[in-house]
């Protein structure tokens, strides 16, 4: 049965006869669904959010950079979404794209992965492959998914196949899409890897196999820790350069002209997104099980988490120079998505800055062309809508904090009419009396 089951699964993927189930229809799952649908697979989307499922089935999108016409085209060619986990049994592949946040103690919150695995297990059958794409600590696939997959008597590597293949989505990046980003994959057994490769190589230009699910899990963490540590380094350099009267953005630009041995990272108001601020702490947490202390990771985390405070300090200094107090001042935060040109609010440092301003008695508002109304978030919420950026409105604020440098902002207009600008993104390079770099 082993070889037959394995070969039948591989053939179904190669012939595009398989039904691909995407579990979790967010910033990772939705693009993956569209990719498999576009190349001729039947795709079933599964999510616990009734509102998301209803909008998708109505041909609507809830992610800005994914137009509704793509959802409508997918619906017309057979895609459907459901909250019914009993339909898991229909799927030949189950790709898990669920959140892996941190809890209040900055420890891994595995509840979404575990609850999803528990919801899947009564409906698993022979011939299926289960792939976890959520970023997590090394050992998660073996420790959490493996026993649940085998609980009903199926044997992983013989009857059912288990892989880990980390997502590498970069929302809003025009240079890369799901198809063109190489796909790392590790299988629990060689048979699992072979089936997993057959699943992904149809949809992704390049598949990169590694020796185990643990190696694949560690690969994703290394990618994100690399960014977190280097951003922490340049954020610390920013503070030093500022004290010395040096423009750190000029320095990074100059260093980037070296054609080898240097990669440009730019400072900012803190880390945002689902990966960089969170994933390093998954390894920190797991390393403690082995008696290890990950000092680089934790130090970079401290530096990056202190950046909103640094921006707030620059704001207070700027107001003081104008004989004003933060308390009672009207402050406009420009950009509340975590990075430019997207609507993704996850872990946005802009929100931390807004909360700090409000806590100090400032009257906070925001403008973001990608986020017209402040969304309901798990830990943060403001009853605010995006402010229009006309001359009179800009001039009506005591200070403007540039937190996210969207291309849609009219930076010349802002510079002309703002009383005070706190620039955390290095958008204004030329010195000006009313601009403070942060």
- Which of the residues 91, 97, 192, 275 is marked catalytic? 275
* Phi, psi at 176, each rounded to 5°: -135, 145
| Angle at 323 (CA atoms; ends 317, 327), nearest 5 degrees | 70
The C-alpha angle with vertex 81 and arms to 78 and 87, in degrees rounded to 5, equals 95
The whole-angstrom separation of Cα 277 and Cα 301 is: 8
Catalytic, 275? Answer yes
CA–CA gap between residue 307 and residue 320 (Å, rounded): 20
Instruction: Answer whether 370's CB lies under 8 Å from 64's CB.
Output: yes
Handedness of CA 209, 212, 217, 222 (dihedral sign): negative
Q: Which residues contact 143 (CB under 8 A, 6 or more apart)?
A: none
Residues with a catalytic annotation lie at 275
């Amino acid at each position: 049965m082993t070889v037959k089951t394995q070969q039948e699964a591989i053939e179904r993927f190669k012939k595009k006869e398989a039904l691909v189930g995407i579990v979790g229809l967010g910033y990772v799952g939705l693009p993956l669904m569209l990719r498999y649908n576009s190349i001729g697979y039947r795709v079933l989307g599964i999510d616990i959010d009734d509102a998301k499922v209803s909008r998708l089935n109505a041909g609507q999108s809830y992610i800005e950079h994914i137009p509704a016409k793509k959802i409508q085209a997918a619906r017309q060619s057979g895609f459907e979404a459901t909250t019914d986990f009993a339909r898991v049994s229909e799927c030949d592949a189950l790709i898990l794209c669920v959140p892996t946040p941190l809890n209040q103690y900055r420890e891994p919150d595995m509840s979404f992965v575990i609850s999803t695995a528990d919801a899947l297990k009564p409906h698993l059958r022979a011939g299926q492959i289960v792939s976890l794409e959520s970023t997590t600590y090394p050992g998660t696939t073996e420790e959490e998914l493996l026993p649940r997959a085998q609980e009903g008597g199926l044997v992983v590597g013989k009857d059912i196949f288990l892989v880990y293949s980390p997502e590498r989505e970069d929302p809003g990046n025009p240079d890369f899409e799901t198809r063109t980003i190489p796909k790392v994959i590790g299988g629990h057994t060689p048979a699992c890897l072979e089936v997993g490769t057959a699943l992904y190589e149809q949809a992704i230009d390049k598949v990169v196999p590694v020796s185990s699910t643990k190696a694949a899990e560690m690969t994703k963490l290394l990618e994100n820790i690399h960014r977190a540590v280097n951003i922490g380094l340049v954020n610390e350099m920013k503070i030093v350069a500022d004290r010395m009267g040096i423009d750190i953005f000029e320095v990074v630009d100059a260093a980037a002209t070296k054609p080898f041995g240097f990669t440009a990272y730019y400072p900012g108001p803190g880390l945002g997104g689902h990966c960089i601020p969170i994933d390093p702490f998954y390894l920190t947490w797991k390393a403690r099980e082995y008696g290890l202390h990950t000092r680089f990771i934790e130090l970079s985390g401290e530096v990056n988490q202190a950046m909103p405070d640094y921006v707030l300090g620059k704001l207070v200094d700027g107001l003081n120079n104008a004989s004003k107090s933060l308390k009672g001042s009207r402050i406009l935060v420009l950009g509340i998505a975590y990075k430019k040109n997207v609507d993704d609010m996850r872990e946005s440092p802009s929100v931390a800055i807004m909360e700090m301003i409000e806590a100090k008695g400032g009257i906070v508002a925001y403008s973001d062309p990608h986020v017209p109304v402040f969304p309901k978030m798990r830990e943060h919420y403001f009853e605010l809508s995006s402010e229009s950026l006309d001359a009179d409105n800009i001039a009506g604020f005591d200070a403007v904090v540039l937190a996210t440098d969207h291309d849609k902002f009219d930076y010349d207009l802002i510079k002309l009419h703002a009383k005070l600008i706190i620039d955390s993104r290095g958008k204004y390079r030329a010195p000006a009396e009313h601009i403070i770099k942060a």
